[in-house]
Amino acid sequence: MVFLTDRASIRPSDMRSPSHLVALLLVVHPVTVLAQTSPRTASLAKTMRQGAEPHHRSLAARALGESDDPEALQPLCDGLKDPSGEVRAAAARGMETLGEVAGLECLEARKDEPDAAAQAALQSALQQLRKLQVRPPKLYVMLGGVKDTTGKLSPQLVKSTEARLRRELVQAGAWLAPEKESEAAAKGVLRKHKLQGYRLLTEIRPGPDGELKLAVMCLRYPGKQLLGNVEVRATGGDPWDLLAALPPLAIEEVAASFQWK
């Protein structure tokens, strides 16, 4: 199991902010790792492709939808072309649960779905993702690249961690600023939409006995005014499992610590 141990928030105005215990356990599913994909997502994607029974492929689609992993989107999109209408329906429902707006393109490409149940699931997913696409933003975030200070993680795992952070920010109602955005352009977005801007700089840090930490520095954006730091930790699993568990907790703690609304 993965143990999410503790999390600490430190603001410049409150350097004695206490750490507290987070009681949360996540089940680990050890499987063979595929490049750029978490082990569990890779296993489920393989079942989607090669499962002998439609029921098994449907269960895999459901689990992918509930995985909270942005890498689950592609196998779910592929599942919309499965020979079984049951599986196509499950894939569409999985995409609705996953909530990745990027899935709109492959859903719209299947508008002529002949199976009634799959068509209904597809239309429901389209409706939900379109709502997410047009919802007003709550804040504006420049997410810097994730830095690996352990020196031991694969580039694919670091990229996966960044993708998970981006997903969590979008789920929290953030608009993500483009790379190399000018200060004038950023100020224009904030002024037009009446938003607060934040810059997040994230590091993956080692801890004792295989523990990994995700440290997030929060600054004003544009600009460099430091608001504070958040650090969350996990132990009891391999790096893929730990870095799947930490991004949701990190963004939750950042939002609470710096009063995102």
Q: Per residue in 86-108, pLDDT tens?
A: 999 999 999 999 999 999 999 99
Q: Provide the pLDDT confidence category of residue 4 given band limits of 50, 70 and 90.
A: low
Q: Is the pTM of this model over 0.75?
A: yes
Q: Which of 82, 113, 134 is the last residue of a domain?
A: 134
Domain hosting residue 228, numbered range: 2-29+136-257
Q: Provide the pLDDT confidence category of residue 6 given band limits of 50, 70 and 90.
A: low
Strands (E), 88-181: 139-143, 147-148, 174-176
Residue 89 lies in a domain: yes
Tell me: the pLDDT tens digits for 167-177? Answer: 999 999 999 99
Q: Are 249 and 140 found together in one domain?
A: yes
Instruction: Read off the pLDDT of each residue in 215-219 and give the average, rounded to a whole number.
Output: 97
Q: Are 163 and 186 found together in one domain?
A: yes
CA 47, 50, 52, 55 dihedral sign is positive
Torsion of CA 52, 58, 61, 66, to 10 degrees: -130
**Domain harbouring 13, CATH code:** 3.40.50
Torsion of CA 12, 16, 21, 22, to 10 degrees: -10
Q: Does residue 70 have a pLDDT over 70?
A: yes
Q: Which of 134, 166, 198 is the last residue of a domain?
A: 134
Concatenate the DSSP letters of all residues of 84-115 into one string. -HHHHHHHHHHHHHHT-GGGHHHHHTTTT--S
When the pLDDT of each residue in the chain is averaged and rounded to a whole number, the result is 87
Count Cβ neighbours within 10 Å for each residue of 185-213 and write b for 16 or more, e otherwise: ebeebbeeeebebbbbbbbbeeeeeeebb
Q: Are 113 and 152 found together in one domain?
A: no
Taking the CA atoms of the chain, what radius of gyration do you get in angstroms? Answer: 20
Residue 183 lies in a domain: yes
Residue 71 lies in a domain: yes
Torsions phi, psi of 216, nearest 5? -120, 120
Report the pLDDT value the prediction gives residue 39, as an integer from 0 to 100.
Answer: 84
Q: Does residue 77 have a pLDDT over 90?
A: yes
* Short-list 29, 97, 89, CA closest to 54: 89
Name the domain count of the chain.
Answer: 2
Report the pLDDT value the prediction gives residue 30, as an integer from 0 to 100.
Answer: 30
Residue 244 lies in a domain: yes
**Domain harbouring 52, CATH code:** 1.25.10.10
Report the pLDDT value the prediction gives residue 73, as an integer from 0 to 100.
Answer: 96
Instruction: Read off the pLDDT of each residue in 111-130 and give the average, rounded to a whole number.
Output: 97
Tell me: the pLDDT tens digits for 173-206? Answer: 999 999 999 999 999 999 999 999 999 999 999 9
Residue 193 lies in a domain: yes
Q: Does residue 14 have a pLDDT over 90?
A: no
Half-sphere exposure of 33 (CA within 13 A, CB side): 11
Residue 34 lies in a domain: no
Tell me: the pLDDT tens digits for 29-54? Answer: 233 333 457 888 999 999 999 999 99
Q: Which of 101, 134, 167 is the last residue of a domain?
A: 134
Q: Does residue 12 have a pLDDT over 70?
A: no
Concatenate the DSSP letters of all residues of 199-256 into one string. EEEEEEEE-GGG-EEEEEEEEESSS--EEEEEEEEEESS-HHHHHHHHHHHHHHHHHH
Q: Are 126 and 205 found together in one domain?
A: no
